[in-house]
Each structure stands twice: as C-alpha cells, then as structure tokens.
A and B are shown apart, each in its own frame.
Chain A
C-alpha cells in the first residue's frame, strides 16, 4: 500500500513540475521572426526526471530525519569518521604527511595549468580563512569581503606600476592596507547587526569596485592594469613555468602561515571573545568584553588575509581589472566558508577545494556548469546544513562515574 502511495505522490510531483516548467522549457519564442517553437520532448524529460528524482529526494530526507533522531538519543557519542581523523593522532599524522608530500610534489607531477588552478584554490583558502574570522568566529555577516581583496590587488598593481616596488615589499603593505580598510568599514557598522550589517558591507564592496571602475586617473578604470611584475627570486629571472611553481610555493607557505595564525587566534583571548560575541552580544558585554574593540579586530584581522591574497592574485595574473572583484566573488567566498563548515579550518579548506575545483573540472559541461553549481549548493545545504566538516562546539560535559566522582571532559 505504501508503495502505491509513494508512486502516487511522485506522479503528482512530476505533473507539478511538468506544469511548472511548461512555458520556459517547452515554448521558445523568437520575437524577431515571430516564430514559436514547441519542444514537447522537454516536457517528457522533465516528467520522467522529476518522477524518479522525487523518490531519491524523499529517501534522503527520510534518512536525514532518521539521523537526527538517532543523534538525539545517542547524545554526542556518534562521532563521524571525519572527526575521528582530526582527533586521533594515529589517524592524522600519516594523513597530514601524505597531504604534505602531495602538496610538495604537486607542481612537478601535474601540468602548469593544474598548478595554476591549485594556486587559485590556495588563494581562496586564504580568503576563506580570513572571512571565517569575520563570519564564522565573530558572527558578523560580511557580503563585501571582496573589497579587501581588491585593495590588496590594487596596492600591488599601483605601487608596482608607479614606483616599481617588488612583491615582497608590497606583501606587508597590502596586508596593512587591508587591515586599515577593515577598520574603516568597521567603524560605521559598529552599531548595526544582522542583515543591516550584511547590506552595508555589500554596499562597501560595491563602492570600492565602482570607484576603481570610474576613477580613471587613479586606477585606469575598467581597462585595468597590465604587466604587473611577478615575484622575483633573489634577483634571478625565472621562466614562466618556474615562476608559476615559485608562486605556488609562496602560496603554500602563506596558506600554512594563515592556518597557523588563525588556529592560534581561535584559542586565544580575542578568539574566545569573538565566539562569545557571536553567541550573544548582550551576555558578551556583560562579561566585560569590549564590543567595539572585539568587532574592529575581527574586521581588521579578517581583512588582512584578503589584502595579502590580493597581492598574490595580482602577482599571479599580472593583470587586474575591477571585473575580478564583483559581488559574485564575495558570494563565492561566503559559500566556501558556509559550505565548508563555519568556524572550522579544515572545513574552509574542503569548501575551497570543492567550490573552486568543481566548476574548473566541470568545464567539460561548460554550459551546465553554473546550473550544477547552484543545484549543488542547494542540495548540500539541505542535507548538510552545518557544512562539509561541521565545527564541533567546545562543550564541557560532566559524566557521573561509578564512585560518583565528577569527571571533566573537554
């Protein structure tokens, strides 16, 4: 009986989707030649497709509900495999060394094209980790993060263009300017919360991009700045391939540095203050945390990494224009943080790998690339709302043992 009901439901779903997609999928008008093309076969595909997919969808929804119930009864005991790999030294030491070997060998095994993609991934890991401070730890939704990335990139491009400064000189300058702009954005939004904050940061990102686009004397407008020099290696001129490999290793180093710093920050006094701020602003203030200082450091320290990533980006592509810093870019970085798992460093790395590599390797289906990308985002969020690698909140558990002694567990 249940089977019959399931089929009935799926039939209804498929009828609904056939109705829904009818005008867009079936009819195609050409207003210039005044012809209408009817593509009935599409309706058939939609019908069959949604009929089958509705079974799959319902099955997974049911699995998810079951999983939730199980978690509730088991408490927090059910650790997933991925968590074990992070917690157990026997698991993570070999894993880490394997990853390290792979990372070092990567540019020598794969082609320059692949290395370039990997550099992009690493840049996004850095951006993701920076945004993770603002969004994941401090809980401030920032939709204009790309502005700091642009600041870094243009710092290098302009200083290189006008004064011929090198990569290593500009790297700290870019980071400092990023932090400065972070504070600049931070001041007016201190009082705002939630979505008001989101919209102001979005506006800030757009303002920076529009200024770069329109202020021709300063930034050469939409045509951008070309011929930015690549990082030098003790004054030796490198071939194109070697300099790509060189940038790759610079990026690996910078990423490691970022991971180290962010990891230390997370468990520091200021890191705990951010988390407290995220959980409850009022309670956080009551605990004696300076809200203003905490928020400003979150914006500044988050923006620093974007500034640095921007410098590397300019050095890698040797050409930048404002089109690289649209709001879509901010959204992609935000997706990396949320999809990976907010507040978790491994999560951000996983998120960047998935979100940058997926569209890259989907180039084969170039037309359907963004369609699949969008679908992936929805499906991932529906079935794993906490992200790929969920950040486990630090909780203190008290367990009553036999002799009634209280044991403190992290």
Chain B
C-alpha cells in the first residue's frame, strides 16, 4: 500500500509539472489557435536565467531566501519578455497566414532559441542548486515526498486557480475570451486584440518560467535541450484535457503523469511513453475533443 501511495505522489508531482507547462500552451492555443512550439524553450530560458541570477547572487553573498525570491522573479520577468518578443517577431506577422506557416515559424523559433542558449552558454548539463529548503514538518514523510515536490504541486494548484479567476472575472480575461471566440468581432467591439494576445503570451511565459525554476531545482540539473521533450509532453497533456481549457490542461497533466508513473511502477519503464501515447489515442477515440473539451458542432 505504501508503494501505491509513493507512486501516486510521484505521479502527482510529474503531472503537476506537465500541467504547469500545459497551462501556457492551452492559453496561447485558445487565443490564436497556434501550437506554440517555442513554449518549451521559454521554460528552458526561465531555468537558465534563474541559475545565472542565483549564481551571481550567491557569489555576492546574499542569503538563501533573498536568492530564491530574486532568482524566481528574474526568471519570470525575463521569460515573459522573451514570450512577448517571440510573439512580436515570429507570430504577429503571420496572423493572416495559413496556420501551418505559423507552426513552422514556431518550430524555427524553438530551434533558434535552443541553439542560442547552446552557443551563448554551454551544451553540458549544469548543476542547479536546490533552491527550496527542506521543510521541518515533512521530516517523517521524507521517503514519500520531498519539499520541492510539495512546492511544485502547490504552485500548480495556485497558478491554476489564479488563472481561472483572471479569465473568469477580470476585464482582460473577458477580452481574452472574446478574442478566443471571434477575433474580428472582438476588434469591432473595441478590444485591442494585439494587446490581449501580448498579455496572453506574457502570462503563459511567466507560468512556464515558474515551472522551469521549480523543475530545475527539483531535478538538480539543466541543459539547453530540457524544454523540448517536456514541451511535447505538456502539449500532449493540454490536448488530452481538451486544448483551450484551463482546468482541462491541469487534468490532462495529472492524468498523463499518473498514467506514466503507474505504468513505470507496476509494469516496465521501457514502454512508459508507448503506454502514455496509447492511452492518449484511446481517450481521444472516445472523446475526440479531449476529456473536458466540448466537441463543437460545425455550422455551415
């Protein structure tokens, strides 16, 4: 039974990581209908800036708490700026172009960012300091769950709730929903669509950066390629839950995380991804628009 709970918690952590990144995917997709391949790279850049900031501050002799806070803030700010710039350079000129062109542009951006970090920094794995201190109250359960796992799960929950509130209740959230429904109509009623899209990218990138910092500190090492596979997994999670929906992204992430963990824990680790993808196909056969997605009836 204990083994079961261990796997359950491991899957929860893994799922929360996917969910946190899937949130950014789903927001961007909901608004402009683009698979933002560069999202995983924004996550990677977040981890790198956090590492750089933390190292510089450590050398300057700051104390631990200040380092955690400042490094995370710097990572979030920089990633948001990157997200903003990527949108302006690579996606904005393609608003009216065929959708696949924007996808290729996103792939190009992703390759560019990977190699930019590779050349400017290093191709090796860099050790990442464990920023999150061990919590006292977790001591008895240490073999089950670490404090960084608790922080990851908590952050995902908080971010999901905050994003939900933002989209439901604030003015910009309303504008986002309007843009997602019909961009031209939104423009007609006086919504600054360019601003809404920029805000979406900034918010999405900020969540990616949070994910980057937390995961890097949990795993303990980073390199320029870390965003690619996680990005694809997160995209799978977003689709699984029903792309475009915030709770769907979290649910999809959790389902994917648990599927992988249970399969690894009880069957074999070799075919973990095979099983995850088969599961995805299986779910999509029965619910072609994802778990929480609404299948739209098409009007002619």
Interface residues of A (CB under 8 A from B): 16, 19-21, 23-25, 27-29, 31-32, 34, 36, 42, 61, 64, 135, 141, 188-189, 191-193, 195-196, 198-200, 202-204, 206-207, 210-211, 214, 280-283, 286, 327, 331, 334-335, 338-339, 342, 367-368, 370-371, 373-378, 381-382, 385-387
Contacts and interface: CB of A to CB of B under 8 A. Distances in A.
A374 B86 CA distance: 13
Given A31-B127, A200-B280, A203-B277, A331 B107 contact: yes
Contacts of A371: 111-112, 115-116, 119
20 contacts: A21-B120, A24-B120, A29-B52, A191-B288, A192-B284, A196-B288, A202-B232, A203-B277, A204-B281, A210-B274, A214-B271, A338-B100, A371-B116, A374-B111, A374-B113, A378-B108, A378-B109, A382-B89, A386-B97, A386-B101
Given A23-B48, A204-B281, A374-B108, 15 more contacts: A16-B85, A20-B81, A24-B49, A36-B55, A196-B284, A199-B280, A204-B277, A207-B278, A211-B271, A331-B107, A335-B104, A342-B100, A371-B112, A374-B112, A374-B114
B51 A31 contact: yes
Interface string B223-264: 000000000100110010001000000000000000000000
Interface string B261-278: 000000000110110011
B236 A199 contact: yes
Contacts, number: 179
B73 interface: no
Contacts of A36: 55-56, 59
Contacts of A382: 89-90, 93-94, 105
A61 B127 contact: no
B285 interface: yes
A198 B35 CA distance: 10
Contacts of B278: 203, 207
B104 A370 contact: no
A303 B236 CA distance: 23
A206 B277 contact: yes
B98 A386 contact: yes
B102 interface: yes
B284 A377 contact: no
Contacts of A375: 108, 112
B261 to A, nearest CB: 17
A334 B232 contact: no
Given A188-B285, A192-B288, A200-B284, A24 B298 contact: no
Contact of B127 (A32, A64, A191, A386): A32
Given A204-B277, A335-B104, A377-B111, A214 B270 contact: yes
A212 to B, nearest CB: 11
A29 B298 contact: no
A24 B232 contact: no
A64 B92 CA distance: 14
A135 B120 CA distance: 36
B114 A381 contact: no
Contact of B117 (A24, A61, A281): A24
Q: Which of A23, A207, A286 has most B Cβ within 10 Å?
A: A23
B17 to A, nearest CB: 18
A370 B111 contact: yes
Nearest to B243: A195
Of all A-B residue pairs in the complex, the 5 with the closest CB atoms, nearest first, are A377-B108, A374-B111, A385-B97, A203-B277, A374-B112
A352 to B, nearest CB: 15
A191 B55 contact: no
Contacts of A377: 104-105, 107-108, 111
Contacts of B55: 29, 31, 34, 36
B300 interface: yes
B94 A385 contact: yes
Contact of B232 (A27, A64, A286, A327): A327
A268 B224 CA distance: 47
A125 B107 CA distance: 20
Interface string B28-47: 01000001000000000100
A378 B102 CA distance: 9
Contact of B300 (A193, A282, A368): A282
Contacts of B201: none
B53 A23 contact: yes
Given A374-B108, A377-B104, A25 B285 contact: no
B81 A19 contact: yes
A196 B289 contact: yes
Contact of A23 (B49, B85, B108): B49
B48 A378 contact: no
A203 B119 contact: no
Nearest to A17: B85
B297 to A, nearest CB: 10
B56 A27 contact: yes
B110 interface: yes
A338 B277 contact: no
A373 B105 CA distance: 11
B126 interface: yes
A64 B98 CA distance: 16
Nearest to B74: A23
A194 to B, nearest CB: 9
Contacts of A370: 111, 114-115
Interface string B114-132: 1111011110001111000
A196 B285 contact: no
Nearest to B300: A282
Contacts of B18: none
Q: Which of A31, A368, A377, A381 has most B Cβ within 10 Å?
A: A381
